[in-house]
Amino acid sequence: MATATLKGRPTLTRRPARHRLLPYLLSLPALLVCIGILVPFATAVAYSLQRYNSSLPYLRKWIWWGNYQTFLTDSAFWNTVYVSLSYTIWTVGIELLLGLAIALLLQRTTRFNNAAAIACLLPLMIAPALAALMWKLMTNPDFGILSYLVGLIGLSDFRWASSPSTAMFTVVLIDVWVYTPFIMILLLAGLRALPRQPFEAAELDGVPASFVFFRITLPMLMPYILTAVLFRLLDAIQQFDIVYAMTQGGPGDRLMVFQVQAYLERFQYLNVGRSAAFLMVLWLITFILSNLFIKNWLRLRERARGAV
Partner 1 sequence: MASKISGGAVLRAAARIIVLLFFLFPIFWVFLMSFQTNQQILRIPPSIFFTPTLENYTALFSGRLQTASGSLDIAFIKNLLNSIILSSCSVLIALILGVPAAYAFARFKFRLGENIAFTLLSFRFAPPLLVLVPLVAYFQMIGLSDTYIGLIWVYQLICLPLILWIVRGYFEDISPDIEHAYRVDGHSWAKTFFKIAIPLARPGIAAAALLSFIFAWNNFVFALILASADKQPVTVGALAFVTSAGIQYGIIAAAIVLSVTPTLLLALYAQRYLVEGLSLGAVKG
Partner 2 sequence: MTRLEIRNLSKSFGSLRLFHDVGFAVAAGETLALAGPSGGGKTILLRLIAGIMEPDEGSILIDGKDVGGVGPEARDVGVAFQNFALYPHMTAFENIASPLRARGTETARVKERVTEVAALLKIDHVLENQPRELSNGQKQRTALARALIRRPKVLLLDDPLRNVDAKLRYEMRLELPRLLAVADCAAIYVTQDYREAMGLGDLVGILRAGRFEQIAPPAEIYTRPRSVEIARLFGDPTINLLPCRPERTAEGLQVEIFGRPMPLPLHFAAAEGRDCLIGVRPEHVSVGLQNGPGSLPFELNAVTPLNVRAVLFLRDAAGTELLATCPEDDALAFGRGHHRVFVTIDTSRALLFDRENGQTLALPAAAQPLAA
Partner 3 sequence: MHEKAKDAVASFVAGRTSRRELFGYGAKLGLGAATMGFLLNEAQTTAQAADFDWQYYKGKTVNLLLNKHPYADAIIADLENFKKLTGMDVKYDVFPEDVYFDKITAALSSGSTQYDAFMTGAYQTWQYGPAGWLEDLNEYIKDPKWTNPAYAWDDVLPNLKASTSWSGVPGAALGGEGAKQWAVPLAFELNSITYNKRIFDKAKVEPAKNLPELVEIAAKIQGSGQNVYGIGTRGSRSWATIHPGYLSAFANYGGKDFEVADGKLKAAMNSAAGKEMTALWVDMIKSSGPRNWSTYTWYQVGTDLGAGASGMIYDADVLGYFMNGGDNKEAGNLAFSAFAPNPKGSSPTPNVWIWSLALNSYSSQKGPAWWFVQWATGTEHGLFGAQKMDLVNPVRNKIWQDETFRARIAKSYPGYLEQYAASSPGSKIYFTPQPLFFNLTTEWAASLQRMVAGELPVSEGLDELAANVDNQLKQAGLG
Q: Which of 12, 30, 31, 152 binds partner 2 (CB under 8 A)?
A: 12
Contact status: 268 vs partner 2 (CB under 8 A):
no
Q: Which is nearer to partner 1, 81 or 164 (CB)?
A: 81
Among 113, 163, 290, 296, binds partner 3 (CB under 8 A): 163
- In a 3-state reduction of DSSP, which class is residue 305? helix
| Shortest separation between residue 39's beta carbon and partner 1, angstroms | 6
In order, the DSSP letters of 44-100 are HHHHHTEE-BTT-GGG-EE-TTHHHHHHHT-HHHHHHHHHHHHHHHHHHHHHHHHHH
Q: How many Å apart are CA 182 and CA 179, to the nearest integer?
A: 5
User: Which of 298, 279, 277 is CA-nearest to residue 287?
Assistant: 279
Among 281, 252, 277, smallest CA distance to 84 is for: 281
How many residues comprise the chain?
A: 308
Q: Exactly one of 107, 113, 140, 290 binds partner 3 (CB under 8 A); which one? A: 140
Q: Give the β-pairing of 50-51 and 61-62.
A: antiparallel
Please list the residues that pair with 61 across neighbouring strands. Answer: 51
At its nearest, how many Å lie between partner 3 and the CB of residue 232?
26
- When binding is defined by CB under 8 A, the residue of 246, 279, 281, 285 that contacts partner 3 is 246
Q: How far is CA 273 from the centre of its chain?
A: 26
Residue closer to partner 2, measured from CB, 5 or 210: 5
Residue 50 binding partner 1, by CB under 8 A: no
Does position 57 bind partner 2 by CB under 8 A? no
* Count of other CB atoms within 10 angstroms of residue 20: 10
Taking CB under 8 A as the rule, does residue 198 contact partner 3? no
Helix 272-305 vs helix 218-237: angle between axes, to the nearest 10 degrees?
170
- Compare residues 146 and 216 and give the one whose CB is closer to partner 3: 146
Q: Which is nearer to partner 3, 70 or 290 (CB)?
A: 70
Q: Please say whether the dihedral angle defined by the alpha carbons of residues 214, 216, 221 and 223, taken in this order, is positive or negative.
A: positive
Kindly tell me which of 11 and 210 has the beta carbon lying closer to partner 2. 11
Q: Rounded to an integer, what distance in angstroms lies between the CA atom of residue 241 and that of residue 282?
A: 16
- Partner in contact with 164, chosen from partner 1, partner 2, partner 3, none, beta carbon below 5 to 8 Å by kind: partner 3
**Near partner 1 by CB under 8 A, which window of 59-67, 140-148, 197-205, 247-255?**
140-148
Mark 33-52 with x for binding to partner 2 (rule: CB under 8 A) and - for no binding.
Answer: --------------------
Report in angstroms how near the CB of residue 52 gets to partner 1 at its nearest.
Answer: 11
In three-state secondary structure terms, 134 is: helix
Ranges within 268-297 binding partner 3 (CB under 8 A): 268-272
Binding mask 81-110 for partner 1 (x = CB under 8 A): --------------------xx--xx----
Q: Which stretch binds partner 1 (CB under 8 A): 58-66, 210-218, 233-241, 247-255?
A: 233-241
